[in-house]
Chain A
Amino acid sequence: QSALTQPASVSGSPGQSITISCTGTSSDVGGYNYVSWYQQHPGKAPKLMIYDVSNRPSGVSNRFSGSKSGNTASLTISGLQAEDEADYYCSSYTSSSTLEGVFGGGTKLTVL
């Protein structure tokens, strides 16, 4: 199945806010409120940061927030900190695959 579309890279200075987009279709992002976001530091396993479009698991900072409009979901990180520098992946339920899920290609966040 086709991956969701994310920008390859975004950057921001400490204290600023950034937004990462994730564009799919009506068969995935646009059709269901099952969008998740994962943070991955180099050499580490992905960590769930947002689920069901805008919900944060226990322990995740409220500087991380999610939203969705049409076929595009977004992850916003406010008050950027050095430790936020990582790769971020969106994921969505999809009706187009028996695997039921599809990932975005990933976005490298650089904190300047």
Chain B
Amino acid sequence: EVQLVESGGGLVQPGGSLRLSCAASGFTFSSYWMHWVRQAPGKGLVWVSRINSDGSSTSYADSVKGRFTISRDNAKNTLYLQMNSLRAEDTAVYYCARLNVDIVAPDYWGQGTLVTVSS
């Protein structure tokens, strides 16, 4: 069974940092591209970042470029999102999602972790 479990969310002050983790199991993690998607309270889904299977290629939404860094450890089956210089508008539930390249869309999602940026 495919499982994605996010952790690392919490309350952080504006300008602070946080690192999210996503532990994957039930599939060959090193074969899949992965995404981070966020959802602000009461709002829609927004792509944040994606990484290819071996970590050699990454991409970011303009709103987080230069502040967030996506990475992965295929030996540990874990995806990361390092978030620096956090702003109030980064407050959201952050989901990790597995990209199915055959359908060019995420097919499995974690349950999400809440990040709240507030003083």
Which chain B positions have C-beta within 8 A of A47? 109
- Chain A nearest CB, measured from B49 CB (Å): 8
Whether A46 contacts B45 in the complex (CB less than 8 A), given A99-B59, A100-B50, comes out as: yes
**A34, B107: Cβ atoms under 8 Å?**
no
The count of chain A contact residues (Cβ–Cβ below 8 Å) is 27
**B47, A101: Cβ atoms under 8 Å?**
yes
**A93, B44: Cβ atoms under 8 Å?**
no
**B104, A100: Cβ atoms under 8 Å?**
yes
**B105, A101: Cβ atoms under 8 Å?**
yes
**A3, B44: Cβ atoms under 8 Å?**
yes
The verdict on A112 contacting chain B, using a C-beta distance below 8 Å, is no
**B105, A51: Cβ atoms under 8 Å?**
yes
Expressed in whole angstroms, the Cα–Cα distance for A47 and B60 within the complex equals: 23
Which of A32, A45, A105 lies in contact with B95, CB distance below 8 A?
Answer: A45
Which of B35, B60, B107 lies in contact with A48, CB distance below 8 A?
Answer: B107
Q: Residues on B close to A: CB < 8 A?
A: 35, 44-47, 49-50, 59-61, 95, 100, 103-112
